[in-house]
Structure 1
Amino acid sequence: MIEINQKKTKTAGIIGANGYTGSELVRLLAFHPHVSLSFLYSRSNSGTKISDLYPDLATVCEMVLTDQPQEVDILFLCLPHKESYNWLSQNQVKDDTLVIDLGNDFRLEGNFKNRNFIYGLPEINKKQLSGAKSIANPGCFATAIQLALLPLAEKGSLNEVYTTGITGSTGAGQSLQATTHFTWRNDNISAYKTLTHQHVDEILQQLVSFNSNEINLNFVPWRGDFARGIFTSSTVKTVVELSDIEQLFKDFYAEEPFVKVSEKAIDLKQVVNTNRCVIHIEKSGNVAVIHSAIDNLLKGASGQAVQNMNIAMGWEENVGLNLKPVAF
């Protein structure tokens, strides 16, 4: 029988544990060999068992949600956008506590008092993330699109980019909205925030640091008739041969455990329930299309947060993240 080291070395707390990203973190951290959950914070559901909100956690975690945070080694902020700043302003957090924000408060402006938030896309910022105490987790669409474009940006090959992306209903959060209600979402599809999505600035901020040319990103996001996952397709003009583009991507991600470049067509089920991103490239004439797929709640949120935690703490990058996709 294989012996598993059950010793927990660091304490962790989740602010906003009642939401989708918070509950995903509970699932991941409950089995992480180096982390012990100390508290699950929620103002709206204080006094309620997390398993009463998410029955699938009944055999995983029976902790009761609280509105009283504790001192911990690692703090995850899983709050609605623009609320992390307010929470940090109103609560005392030790300087040596690792804070990972899953909202968008610090992705563009990374300073808060004495904290300088590092942008947490491991595939480009791994050195900066090592030993970091403040991390701004990337957005879900931002992660999928950046991973599809970064190798071309590094070569200065991006100029005009046209991207479409479709996301599942969990991307809109747990609160019920007209466009997440089953009777609206079922057998339906729609575009939203056309050319104005909040992740565009975040994406360009990172890409322009690699690319020698000005980049225009024309992004049209879509709501999909499924619960989780993101599939994006980015169209660019290039005279480079397909085989050379594929090799460029394979070389760029050669040392990255969660990015796979596939020569075969990809689909969403390859990544759902994993921290992986799969990429496939097609080309006709001087037009190339780079497809990328991720799970919006894992590589696009909670899984990437754990990946960033592992890097910051000096642990193996894939600890607690060896997850199997849901194929059937």
Structure 2
Amino acid sequence: MGNEVSIKAGIVGGAGYTGGELLRLLVNHPHVEIPFVHSKSQAGKPVYEAHKDLLGDTDLCFTDTLQTDVDVLFLCVGHGEAKKVIEAENLPQSIKIIDLSQDFRWSESIKDAAVEAFDRNFVYGLPELQRDQIKQAQNIANPGCFATAIQLALLPLAEQKLVQEEVHVSGITGSTGAGQSFSSTSHYSWRDGNISNYKVLQHQHLNEIRRSLDGLQEQELPSINFVPYRGPFTRGILCTSYLKSDLSIDEVNQMYKSYYRSHPFTIVSDSTPDLKQVINTNKCLLHLDKQGDNLIITSLIDNLLKGASGQAVQNMNLLFGLDETAGLKLKASAF
């Protein structure tokens, strides 16, 4: 597409964490202009008042009017709200939609490729699973953050029909995973120096994880036992998944590196990674280990980027035939 501006992107729900991250990516994207950023709570105010780090980067102001003269619309609203936006605004079918909520993630099978709603088909937007379907899609249901980290840990095994034993997963996430609304468990004085589990064995992302892995493995999947934790930090996810396996560590490493060879953001690390290697990037780092007959897969992502807004931009790039990495060559904080 060359270097000219070619995609008009609108954002609904631009005042929250995912909306802010999306703005940071799109104001620097070589192929995007942003006609409007919608926010009912911040209408009329400059974007940089809500996202102070954008001072000097954009003069955009929030609006409470949703414009339809765009090529793609990002929905960064709460769960249940995306459906209301589409229903209320009667959006033209020509507008591509990328929804970051869970409203359109569910279908009976990943083979169906899409969820139908409001005369639109929403394709599940995990590029490492169905990049070709995303390229042909009109609307995308962006995956959940924990769902992304856990699926990327297990996809190569499921493709080879090797998830034959129940899977145990523990994962910890930063406070931004809970959104910007005030709650007792995201408040600084509660979260700092503290840790707790929540939604043990019943996290909502298990639905999309099982649906994806079932579709790849083409047989009934054993149990996936997931224990999520709230961590005393702002952003990032680290998951440890383990299951019984007869494979040697060399065989597993070869399988994973082969599966992800053509996927620029998922990297198999030979050494144990840490969270700061992925913070502020669209990467997922994987590390594999064997202890006895247990295969252990560690996966790390930034919940706001590869787990949300970064993956949404990755999906936009695929929808419009751009380089998958456009606007996403980001530097990790490192220390």
TM-score range, shorter chain: over 0.9
Post-superposition Cα deviations, 1:196-219, rounded to whole Å, max 9, x if no partner, equal 110001100000011234221100
- The aligned amino acid for 2:64 is D
Using the alignment, how far apart are the partners of 1:282 and 1:294 within structure 2? 18
1:270 aligns with 2:277: yes
Among 101, 110, 114, the residue aligned to 1:103: 101
Q: Which of residues 264, 288, 297 is equivalent to 2:304?
A: 297
Structure-2 residue corresponding to 1:79: 77
d(CA) in 2 for partners of 1:161, 1:289: 10
Q: Is structure 2 residue 50 aligned with structure 1 residue 43?
A: no
Alignment partner, residue 163 of structure 1: 169
Partner of 1:187: 193
Match of 2:180 among 174, 182, 185: 174
Structure 2 counterpart SS, 1:300: helix
Contact 1:169 1:227 in 2 (8 A): yes
Q: Provide TM-score, normalisation by structure 1.
A: 0.97
- Once the two structures are superposed, residues 54-74 of structure 1 have per-residue CA deviations (whole angstroms, 9 ceiling, x without a partner) of 111112222111110111111
Equivalent position of 2:86 in the other structure = 88
> Does the 8 Å contact 2:9/2:34 carry over to 1?
yes
- Identity of paired residues, percent? 48
Q: State the superposition RMSD in angstroms.
A: 1.0
What letter corresponds to residue 85 of structure 1 in structure 2? Answer: K
Aligned residue number for residue 111 of structure 2: none
Shift of 1:6: 6.1
Tell me the SS of whatever aligns to 2:256.
helix
Uncovered stretches (5+) of structure 2, i.e. residues with no partner: 108-114
- Report how many residues are paired: 324
Say which SS state the counterpart of residue 34 (structure 2) adopts.
strand
Residue of structure 2 equivalent to 1:149:
154
Structure 1, unmatched stretches of 5+, are none
Q: Could you tell me which residue of structure 2 aligns to residue 283 of structure 1?
A: 290
Structure-1 residue corresponding to 2:247: 240
Any runs of at least 4 consecutive aligned residues in structure 1 with deviations exceeding 4 A, and if so which? none
Per the alignment, residue 8 of structure 1 pairs with: 5
Deviation at 1:160, TM superposition (A): 0.3
Counterpart Cα distance in 2 of 1:9 and 1:232: 38
Distance 2:58 2:102 in 1: 28
1:128 equivalent in alignment to 2:126: no
**Amino acid paired to 1:249:** Y
Q: Does 1:66 align with 2:63?
A: yes
Matched residue SS, 1:38: coil
Of residues 137, 140, 144 in structure 1, which corresponds to 2:145? 140
The answer to whether the Cα contact below 8 Å between 1:40 and 1:65 also exists between their aligned partners in 2 is yes
Letter in 2 for 1:37: I
Q: In 1, distance between residues paired with 2:176 and 2:104?
A: 22
- One-letter amino acid of the structure 2 residue matched with residue 40 of structure 1: V
State the TM-score, normalizing by the size of structure 2: 0.95
| Partners of 1:8 and 1:34 within 8 A in 2 | yes
Q: 1:120 is aligned with what amino acid?
A: G
